[in-house]
Homo-oligomer: A and B are copies of this chain.
């Protein structure tokens, strides 16, 4: 890029806002996907305000520079993998959070961490439910971009269910507010909803207005060990019609063992699958719901079922589940799958994943938001071994194909990003893909926003 053009950007923004030195921009090239294809940004803007973002995007539009909007960089689908010569617009410094306990909303800068919003809400006895596995390190702006899910979704829904308003810098640099603070609002097309999950392709989110709930009641926990993941899947399918669990998570044997290696908790290493469920129903109903869940596990053939009303004991199992990602990470590289299938098909799909793993000669531990049918097969591979990479990629593609074939989706909560873009046409078909592109082109006619991501 022409130095004079870059100088215009540097001059237009507060001192220290623009990074151009390769050693400084290096850590902005990639997200947790660790893509070998990550390009080198021409510059990184560490915006301190929406005005900074506007300045940056206007400059990019004028000079036709691709913009990669970036939150905390914790994505798992390459949604913020840098494009060669791009402008990375990072909102990491925009971390202000204001909680209005009367309206029960949080107004947060896009760079505020999910956990910080939770903590700020808790001060007022309030609760921000969305809890992606990354909640301690991911930003709410990134959560909005991917419409992030998590463990609570089975009862409390996903990010879009909590977004009341957004400030967005459009691809031409205009700043708009979508939505507001009311829970019901049908004035105009639901553009607010269109932006949640748009993966930075329609603009840069700078501020979010989030709906809060009263603090979550304490939870009772049920833990069940099964001989096979299929039995656990059957228990999950049976529960859905009878109770509304506040979480319902599954780990297969390989994941349980990875967790035990990483952080010994005394989990049964010999079980084929571990199911952890919680009820946060108020009062005595909590124990009743957990008892229904336990009965479903026993009926599905669980070898052992344990339930507890002690939040601390329950938290231990929740932490075991939360450790699954880091524990598998500690074992080496894996491709993070995120398919979502109809819940009653979870047992079948687990079978098929095991079969595909055997066929391609790869290890594929699976953990899952089982209550939503959202599976995270972790396809392990050796980054230095091209054959291992090739086999992992083949399994990755086949698992997505399997999800599509059974009426599911290639991504439940991570997004399409760049790693799943090739699979999107197979799921959507040409007509819906074309609709995606038409909407995108309508809002970003220059095609500068996050090119190569999503669709």
A: residues with CB less than 8 A from B are: 101-104, 124-126, 146-147, 149, 153, 157-158, 160-161, 170, 174, 176-178, 180-191, 193-194, 196-198, 201-202, 213-214, 237, 240-244, 281-285, 288-289, 340-344, 369, 372-374, 407-416, 420, 424, 427-429, 431-433, 435-436, 438-443, 454-455
Contact = CB atoms under 8 A, between A and B. Distances in A.
B342 A412 contact: no
Contacts of A186: 146-147, 197, 409, 411-416
10 contacts: A184-B340, A184-B372, A185-B409, A186-B414, A187-B409, A187-B411, A189-B454, A191-B439, A281-B281, A438-B442
B189 A201 contact: yes
A436 B194 CA distance: 11
B443 A182 contact: no
A190 B288 contact: no
A191 B435 contact: yes
Contact of A190 (B149, B198, B244, B441): B198
A281 B244 CA distance: 12
In the complex, the count of this chain's copies comes to 2
A344 B102 CA distance: 7
Contact of A432 (B153, B177, B407): B177
A413 B454 contact: no
A408 B165 CA distance: 12
B160 A241 contact: no
Nearest to A165: B407
Contacts of A147: 186, 190
Nearest to A217: B285
A176 B439 CA distance: 15
Given A185-B409, A185-B411, 19 more contacts: A158-B184, A177-B432, A180-B407, A182-B342, A184-B369, A184-B372, A187-B420, A188-B416, A188-B427, A189-B440, A189-B454, A190-B198, A191-B436, A214-B240, A282-B288, A283-B288, A284-B284, A439-B439, A441-B442
Contacts of A101: 241
Given A244-B214, A343-B103, A188 B424 contact: yes
Given A244-B214, A282-B289, A185 B412 contact: yes
A181 B432 contact: no
Contacts of A416: 186-188
Contacts of A237: 102
A161 to B, nearest CB: 7
Contacts of A288: 282-283
A183 B455 contact: no
A144 to B, nearest CB: 11
Nearest to A188: B436
Nearest to A420: B187
Contact of A241 (B104, B176, B197): B104
A334 B455 CA distance: 48
A174 B438 CA distance: 15
Nearest to A189: B436
Contacts of A157: 161
Nearest to A242: B214
A428 B193 contact: no
A341 B182 contact: yes
A252 B115 CA distance: 42
